[in-house]
Homo-oligomer: A and B are copies of this chain.
Amino acid sequence: MVRNRPTIEEVARRAGVSPATVSRVLNGTARVSRDKVRAVLEAVEALGYTPSPQAQSLAKGRSYAVGIILPDFSSAFYGPILEAITLELESTPFRPIAVPGHWSLVRELEALDFLKGHRVEALLLLGTSLESSALKNLNMPVLAFGQPLEGPRVWSLVLDNRQAAYRATRYLLDKGHRKIAHISSHRGGMDIRERLLGYRKAMREAGLEVRVVYGNLQEDGGYRATQELLSRYPDTTAIFAANDQTAFGARLYLFKQGVRVPEDISLMGFDDIPLAAYHIPPLTTVRQPAGEVGHALIEALKNLLEGKEPQFPFIALDLVERASVKEVGT
């Protein structure tokens, strides 16, 4: 099942050289005479030889693998980030091993063990809720996105969610809204809590009532949260959801109730997942640039693996004005 692929030994025999020489030409690790190079290449071609990364990893003492823990492969937000990372990694010798944590701390710890077992050379944490203590004696560098983690070899790329949420709320205020609600979630990491704080700050500064309900960061949670929201606060004129998927759920509930967006209620999301631009009406939201985040993480990773100190660029969370927010008379 696995033992049937050609080994370096067979290639060597066919080329009339030693395994060491085959290794040398394949890795360019020493000069080899032209004839032998050709012979080796021919043999490799004829046999369809591919070196075993497992064996290479054992022999070299490194895996050239980077571990990635993310919540879910089907996530509309982390999927694109993973995609960006995979793309960026292609130009390096490193390969990603991605494991979903399924929003559960236990699963995340299992994922961590799995990746430790695989001897990954670095860890990328995307939207996990792992604590710093879990990374205690980890012996490898860790890059976290979405959550500030502590540790000697831990670096976090955290965007200013609080400030962005503050500005988003201010935007609604500037549009004349006063009864503004926020749909948050108990699930999710620090970024979600930061968005809540940003919303609260803006509302308090404006001397307005804070209206918060909770979903699960998915569409169905947004739907139910909106139901609750409107029964508790029927006069709400604007809803700021903690992420786009929640906003979509809210939108559906409003649609079913015959509430128009943005004519009756304005709606704002967070993340700017690809579908936000194609929603009806196109969703006004705060953009978290997946491509830039992926790029930044991989750049940092490269520096790290070369022994340099990683540098994160500043990544702005900009408001994307589309069509789901309307100005209202004050």
Q: What is the interface of chain A, defined by CB distance below 8 A to chain B? A: 1-5, 48, 50-55, 57-58, 61-63, 72-76, 79-80, 82-83, 86, 95, 97-98, 100, 113-114, 116-119, 121, 137, 139-140, 219, 223, 248-249, 251-252, 255, 274-275, 277-282
Q: Which residue of chain B has the shortest Cβ distance to A290 in the bound complex?
A: B74
A116 touches B5 (CB 8 A): yes
Q: CA of A65 to CA of B3 in the docked complex: distance in angstroms?
A: 14
B50 touches A2 (CB 8 A): no
With known contacts A61-B2, A83-B73, A275-B275, A119–B54 Cβ distance under 8 A: yes
Residues of B within 8 A of A248 (CB): 275, 278
B54 touches A4 (CB 8 A): no
B74 touches A100 (CB 8 A): no
Residues of B within 8 A of A219 (CB): 274-275, 277-278
Query: With A74-B80, A219-B278, A255-B281 given, can you name 11 additional A-B contacts, CB distance below 8 Å?
Result: A1-B61, A5-B116, A52-B118, A54-B118, A73-B98, A76-B76, A219-B274, A248-B275, A251-B278, A252-B278, A252-B282
A119 touches B5 (CB 8 A): yes
Could you show 13 A-B contacts with beta carbons less than 8 Å apart? A1-B62, A1-B140, A2-B121, A52-B118, A54-B57, A54-B58, A54-B118, A72-B83, A73-B82, A73-B98, A74-B80, A76-B275, A255-B281
| Other-chain contact of A51, B58, B117, B137 (Cβ < 8 Å) | B117
B2 touches A119 (CB 8 A): yes
B274 touches A249 (CB 8 A): no
B72 touches A116 (CB 8 A): no
Residues of B within 8 A of A5 (CB): 116, 119, 139
B117 touches A52 (CB 8 A): yes
| Other-chain contact of A255, B4, B72, B280 (Cβ < 8 Å) | B280
Residues of B within 8 A of A113 (CB): 50
A86 shortest CB reach to chain B, Å: 6
Residues of B within 8 A of A48 (CB): 137
Q: CA of A158 to CA of B3 in the docked complex: distance in angstroms?
A: 31
